[in-house]
Amino acid sequence: MKYGYHADFICPTLPDINNVGIDPYLAGYDAEDIFCKDVQALFQENNSQHAMNRLFSAISSNLDKFHGRARLVREKSWLGADLFEDGSLEIVYIDGDHTYEAVVKDLAAWYLKIRKGGILRGDDIGW
């Protein structure tokens, strides 16, 4: 979900869909991910977890303008998959924890949630 910009594009462009972002907004889970440092600098915050908490609050407030069509779930990706029925989703886009163990959990958790003919995609291949 990162900064929440996907919803700002998706919701006005595709008015018949709901957008759910799942992100734990945890500091320090991956030493090679610079996102936390960027957020810390953005909020001029000494504590990286406090900065992530502030970002989560800011994004959640921003999503209010979509009147329930966009929401943010603060959870690890593979655990958030439990919120959805198997075969219920058309598109799943994963930009999760980049550790090998987490990628395996994400793929196992989300694969069954996609309807026949749906799309499972992600990014940061080769990280």
Q: Where are the domains of the chain?
A: 1-18+25-75, 77-127
What H or E segment, with its residue span, contains residue 50? helix 48-63
pLDDT tens digits for 57-94?
999 999 999 999 998 989 988 999 999 999 998 888 88
Q: Is the dihedral of CA 49, 19, 119, 124 positive or negative?
A: negative
Kindly report, residue by residue over 27-66, the tens digit of the pLDDT. Answer: 887 777 788 889 999 999 999 999 999 999 999 999 999 9
- Backbone torsions φ then ψ of 98, nearest 5 degrees: -90, 5
Would you report the helix, strand and coil content of the chain in percent, each value rounded to 5? 45, 20, 40
Query: For 6-17, what is each residue's pLDDT tens digit?
Result: 889 989 998 888
Residue 23: CB atoms within 10 A of its CB come to: 22
Predicted model pTM: 0.82
Q: What is the pLDDT of residue 61?
A: 95
